[in-house]
Structure 1
Amino acid sequence: MAGLINYVQESYNELKNHVTWTPLPEAQRLMVVVAVFSILFSLAIWGVDTVFSNVIKLYFDKIVGTN
């Protein structure tokens, strides 16, 4: 149990005294960049999924459906 308490104390000390935190304006700017990229990436995945779904539907309607 003493090892766990020591670990928590050292972790707290490390976070408080040795970690350099990103300034709030830069963190906000980076958050906007990540949000925009995530939206664009999800739209790209949705587009590719839609195209593949239509191609597979066309395949099964035209090719497999004629047998």
Structure 2
Amino acid sequence: MRIKAYLQEVYTELIHKVSWPTWKDLQSSALIVMIASLLIALVIFVMDITFENVMDVIYRMMY
């Protein structure tokens, strides 16, 4: 019986106490996440290319 009471409390809380975002809010948040992800990927790409070029210069100096 404790499980049934727990599930009823969870349902009540989800329906009456939780504030759900609107569809527009979700779209806005998703857009922000996509832009941030692309920017982070670009920064990592630039760092990778830079590190590769630096290591190339170092290896050429050694041999």
The TM-score bracket by the shorter chain reads 0.7 to 0.9
Q: Deviations over 1:37-59 (max 9, x none)?
A: 11011111110111011111221
Would you say 1:16 and 2:15 are equivalent positions? yes
Q: Aligned partners of 2:5, 2:52: CA distance in 1, in Å?
A: 55
When residues 52 and 10 of structure 1 are mapped into structure 2, their CA distance, relative to the original with a 3 A threshold, is: same
Structure 1: which 5+ residue stretches go unaligned? none
Name the TM-score, length of structure 1 as normaliser.
0.74
Residue identity matched to 2:8? Q
Runs of 4+ aligned residues of structure 1 deviating over 6 Å after TM superposition are none
Q: What per-residue deviation string (whole Å, max 9, x for no partner) do you get for residues 2-40 of structure 1?
A: 555444332232212210011111110111111011101
One-letter amino acid matched to 1:39: L
Over aligned residue pairs, what C-alpha RMSD do you find? 1.7
TM-score by length of 2: 0.77
Unaligned runs of 5+ in 2: none
Moved more, 8-17 or 22-31: 8-17
Deviates more, 1:51-60 or 1:7-16: 7-16
The answer as to 2:42 corresponding to 1:43 is: yes
